[in-house]
Amino acid sequence: MLDLLSGFIVELRNAGLPVSLTENLDAMEAIMHIPLEDREAFKYALGATLVKNHAHWRSFETVFEVYFSLRGPEYAIDGSGEGNADLDEFMRQMQNLQGQGEGKGGGTMDGLTPEELMNILMNALMNGDQAMMRALAKQAVQRFAGMEPGRPVGGTYYLYRTLRNLDLDGMLDKLMEASRQQVGGELTNLEERLERDEYQDRIEKFKQEVEAEIRRRLVADRGAEAMAKTLRKPLPEDVEFMHASRDEMQHLKKALQPLTRKLAARLARKRRHGRKGPLDFRNTVRHSLAYGGVPAEPKFKYPRPAKPELIVVADISGSVAAFARFTLMLVYAISNQFSKVRAFVFIDGIDEVTDYFKKTEDIGEAIHRINTEADVIWVDGHSDYGHAFEVFWDKWGKEIGPKSTVMLLGDARNNYHASQSWVIKEMRAKARHVYWLNPEPKSYWNTGDSIVGEYGTFTDGVYECRNLRQLEAFVEKLA
């Protein structure tokens, strides 16, 4: 047990979770008070002592599944013993449901045709039958995933194969159809929506069961350590913008919200503290009355440092679009920390998009409009920094003043066009600061058609900004 647990903790650390020695000891002590056969309680005991940041919970769960999924009788893989009895039970249920008396010889699900399996699955989803769904997940993986021991393929491959055979999207429609029939007629829009959400939720649960089943089999095949390694995923704040999958994007989006709140609170606090304004004479005299006219308690004015004016110029061509989107979202979410924020986007043409943010309170919608409506294509829709900067300078250059900070976002992959870096030089002469944020790792800079070095010499600094953590650090420095 002790070995297993220390292996588990090492894996957590490898996944990037900060687990200190005392926390380790706490975890050991905690599980002594918990009945070990209660898996849920065991999990929460470990979670409460080891994971101190909710964003890390998902990583914790994955590692936990890998390390402790094999223990416990209900998770037996070969479907022998207790499991079989369950299957028989389901078989009978299935027959009752379908009203087919004849049965199929053997008592297990193995003898079913795929169509019958789909029917049972549909019924299980309809009734929200958890145990049945678990058994079905097992069966589906066994049948469709085609897992072979020792084959060096990731779990996602098997997952894909299984789900493709099950056609869960079609299942949703069928379920909706069935519930419409149940009511006998049309559902109202509201009911329709609620039913759909309910089924989606159940299907999601079923998918998780399938995933867990595949993972269990893989762990049995390869051992926990190797498995954990393949499943290791970066924490949300470490996910790279440029390579994030759709799923990771969702998580990034969720992580962004609390982050902006934190950042805004921190910046506001920074503004108020640490600096003292000039003596507030009036207020001091007013308070001196309490001491018989002796100004014993000097009062100071609130410091009001000027807020910077921010001009964001972002490349939104395919490769770096996600990065620009996140930066714009972040900047606008804390826009009250700046006196003014103006946003420009470009690919090879450039367009101002400040108005999109003004008209709506919903940042997501504004970003969507930028992607669909902004006029950013001049010739062929491949990044042309030089032309974009030139146009920017002609049209809006005179609006850069000594208060403005210019943020340039992009990977500076210019497709071998002219760089026009004199624009940046002019900008710097007029603006307070000019910064360049590059979502590429530093080692890629100035390779191929990247000319970030050439632009960089004229800025006040080029920053690598690959993930939320780096972005956050930069924005904090800015305000």
Q: Find the shortest distance in angstroms from Cβ 56 to another protein.
A: 10
Here the tokens at position 398 are 């005179």
φ/ψ of residue 71, rounded to 5: -85, 145
Here the tokens at position 307 are 């807020």
The reply to whether 47 sits near another protein by the rule CB under 8 A is yes
φ/ψ of residue 93, rounded to 5: -55, -45
Based on CB atoms, which residue is closest to another protein, 82 or 362?
362
Question: Can you say whether the dihedral through the CA atoms of 421, 426, 427, 432 is positive or negative?
Answer: positive
* Residue selected from 1, 2, 3, 22 as contacting another protein according to rule CB under 8 A: 22
Based on CB atoms, which residue is closest to another protein, 128 or 223?
128
Q: Find the shortest distance in angstroms from Cβ 462 to another protein.
A: 27
Query: Quick one: DSSP state of residue 448?
Result: T
Q: Find the shortest distance in angstroms from Cβ 254 to another protein.
A: 10
The reply to whether 188 sits near another protein by the rule CB under 8 A is yes
Based on CB atoms, which residue is closest to another protein, 348 or 472?
472
* Residue selected from 5, 7, 16, 41 as contacting another protein according to rule CB under 8 A: 41
The reply to whether 141 sits near another protein by the rule CB under 8 A is no
The reply to whether 52 sits near another protein by the rule CB under 8 A is yes
Q: Give the 3-state secondary structure of residue 420.
A: coil
CB 45 within 8 A of CB 31: yes
* Residue selected from 265, 290, 418, 429 as contacting another protein according to rule CB under 8 A: 265
Mask of contacts with another protein, 266-305, x by CB under 8 A? x--x---x--------------------------------
CA 18 to CA 258: how far, in whole Å? Answer: 20
φ/ψ of residue 437, rounded to 5: -110, 130
CB 29 within 8 A of CB 67: no
Q: Find the shortest distance in angstroms from Cβ 18 to another protein.
A: 8
CB 415 within 8 A of CB 383: yes
- Among 227, 285, 334, smallest CA distance to 7 is for 227
The reply to whether 452 sits near another protein by the rule CB under 8 A is no
CA 249 to CA 255: how far, in whole Å? Answer: 10
Site for another protein in 337-396 (CB under 8 A): 360-362, 364
Q: Give the 3-state secondary structure of residue 202.
A: helix
Based on CB atoms, which residue is closest to another protein, 178 or 268?
268
Based on CB atoms, which residue is closest to another protein, 42 or 393?
42
CB 436 within 8 A of CB 462: yes
Q: Find the shortest distance in angstroms from Cβ 29 to another protein.
A: 6
Among the residue ranges 28-36, 212-220, 289-297, 443-451, the one whose residues contact another protein (CB under 8 A): 28-36
Based on CB atoms, which residue is closest to another protein, 250 or 339?
250
Based on CB atoms, which residue is closest to another protein, 18 or 453?
18
As to burial, measured by CB atoms within 10 angstroms (0-12 exposed, 13-18 middle, 19+ buried), residue 170 is: exposed
CA 297 to CA 193: how far, in whole Å? Answer: 63
As to burial, measured by CB atoms within 10 angstroms (0-12 exposed, 13-18 middle, 19+ buried), residue 296 is: exposed
Which residues form the interface with another protein (CB under 8 A)? 18, 20, 22-23, 26, 29-30, 33-34, 38, 40-41, 44-45, 47-49, 51-54, 57, 188-190, 193-194, 197-198, 201, 258, 261-262, 265-266, 269, 273, 360-362, 364
